[in-house]
Amino acid sequence: MRNGSSHLELVLLVLALGLNLSWPLLAGQPPEFPAGPAGKGNFVFNLENDVWLDRDDGYTNGLSFSWVCPPLDEESKSSWLRFLYRLNTRLLGNDKKIKSQNNYVDPETSSQRWAVLSIAQGIFTPADLTREEIISDDRPYAGLLLTSLTFVRNSGRTQTCWGGGLGVVGPFSLAETAQKWLHRTYGWTEPRGWSNQLKNEPVVDIWLSRFWTIFGSEEKETGWRPAFRAGLGGQLGNLMTGLEATFDFRFGLNVQPEKEALLPSPLFNQVPLSGVKRTSVYGFCRLTGRALARNLLIEGNTFVSSHGQSLRHFYGQLISGLAYESQQAAISLYAVIRTKEFKGQKYFDPYFGLSLSIAL
């Protein structure tokens, strides 16, 4: 994004953030965030951008705000939370609670449930922002504004997610306004081709995934441990339609993989669910393979003529980063690289991401 910016800035930024996240490992005891009010869920802020790589192409910016409700319970005092609980059980199934003579409930047959409400914006551009005409061999200018609701169920070592999103692609997404304002504010290259962006089109998508913890620490276990999860997911809609497989590996202190949901949603595929009882610091590496039949953001509008490119139906994505989790907050910094998404693509599409969750 920034003209003439030095790659040294990127190195220093990554080193500084990496040291801030990892120094507690060397000290042996990670610090705690100040305690805050509890019982109202979590606020999650996500930002993804390629600015730190001195780039501005492909998926160039993503921003989202989410609310993760407190663990759902059918006996909650809140009628809103009871309503979300009923929707969760209707979509993801009821528990088969088996009690012993001592009224002990088998944790393998009972579940923890959440709902995640989000609003997100994504900005997508070709590589050359200085050209006003359509660039025939590059992706179209496109903006996405999406609201979504996702339900999560953890049952033993299995996590199931079901979600759906409603939104718009085109000028109504406000992507053009957001990018031009940001570039003018910081003196970056002005994007001149937004007059060729995809036209307004309402989008509807649903997604479903299931993850299994192959090996990993239980909540009561402490210390340095690895964790590995594998999962399958899919999306269906006029925005994106496809299937994916994901392998998630983590290693660190007090790793609790079930406290984060991994989603096959169009934007932002990881959501911290709740605070952890024991402070955790870990590194993670996540590999995803996707088979897509439809990607409106690359192929162009569904119902009217627009600029677009021929989709590569198979591609992969690698995410690697560091994370800190406590009972009050969670923060992760990660880098993403994916293979080429359309035929004739001349560049890869790497970017950095930041996720911050605060207990309410």
Q: What are phi and psi of 280, to 5 degrees?
A: -130, 140
pLDDT digits (tens, 9 = 90+) for 57-89: 999 999 999 999 999 999 888 999 999 999 999
How far is CA 186 from its chain centroid?
27
pLDDT at 131: 96
- 89-127 b/e with 16+ CB inside 10 Å = b? beebeeeeeeeeeeeeeeeeeebbbbbbebebbbbbbbb
Distance CA 144, CA 167 (A): 7
Query: Three-class SS string for 173-194?
Result: HCHHHHHHHHHHHHCCCCCCCH
7-94+106-359 adopts what CATH topology? Lipocalin (2.40.128)
pLDDT at 235: 97
Query: What are the residue ranges in the chain where pLDDT is below 70?
Result: 1-38, 96-109, 217-220
Distance CA 106, CA 96 (A): 9
Distance CA 198, CA 126 (A): 12
> What Cα–Cα distance (Å) separates residue 347 from each residue in 70, 130, 132, 183, 292?
42, 17, 20, 22, 19
And the tokens for 19? 């040291």
Distance CA 263, CA 210 (A): 9
And the tokens for 291? 């088979």
Bridge partner residues of 231 (DSSP): 211, 246
